[in-house]
Structure 1
Amino acid sequence: MAHIRITSYGTGHNDAPTAPDPVVVDTTSLHNPPDDPAVRATLTQLTGRHPDVAAYVLATPGAHHLIDTARRLVEQRIVDGEQHIDVHVHCYGGRHRSVAIAELLAADLSVLDDYVHTHHRHINQPILPTRTPAER
């Protein structure tokens, strides 16, 4: 049985988790509620655990592919005999995209006969200022 630890975090907080050779999932290309005036008022104060935020993030083209790729990488490590697997899922703020993808990935991996633990490092941190396109 493998132990899978999924950690979501925001790179804008400058304290990324550490682990030897984690599977890294970059969600910065996905739709982000604080960057979208159409949903900013309704979704920004929620987190990626909320179904509306998760649906919004998953509506980004390529979101399901990102989850599938991460799942396959973890499954391959299990096949290779790894007992402890760290998965680091990041976005900029650590409240929306990374949380939604980490939760969905954990649900996908929970069908395996393995222990999956999810930790959201920055879910309760203040929303970071929106970055300009040049900063993204």
Structure 2
Amino acid sequence: MTRRAALMLQIATGDPRPINRQIVDGVRRMIASGELEVGAALPSVRGLAQQLTVNPNTVAKAYSELTAEGWLDSRAGLGVFVAIPRQRLSDEERNRRLDDAVQRFVGDVVGLGYPAGAIVDRVAGELEQCFPKKTA
């Protein structure tokens, strides 16, 4: 039997994103950073719902989206596991989504009054936490 560790996700009630989006984003980030390795077993839908004190349907929706995108692998009777990395989207779709995300981000922060360099440094710091360090 595979041991399932609790996911260290936090749901922020003040976050404008829906709860299932927060779960999706959190799991993606943990996989991209290497915190969740390929083959790692995720908590059951009910288990994560209890941990986060959310409706199980919310977790099921997040897991379903992550599975459809290729981040997770659902195995009948066994559970949900981190999938082997693959090209999830075409290069064109990846570029379109990056452009959309950058435009939304710039629209959100442009009125905050920070100099561009401070914003870039902050984003770079966040990205460094998301990507595992390469060791030679």
What's the TM-score once normalised by structure 2's chain length? 0.32
The structure where strand makes up a greater share of residues is: 1
Q: Which has the larger radius of gyration?
A: 2
What's the TM-score once normalised by structure 1's chain length? 0.32
Higher relative contact order (CA 8 A, sep 6+): 1
The structure where helix makes up a greater share of residues is: 2
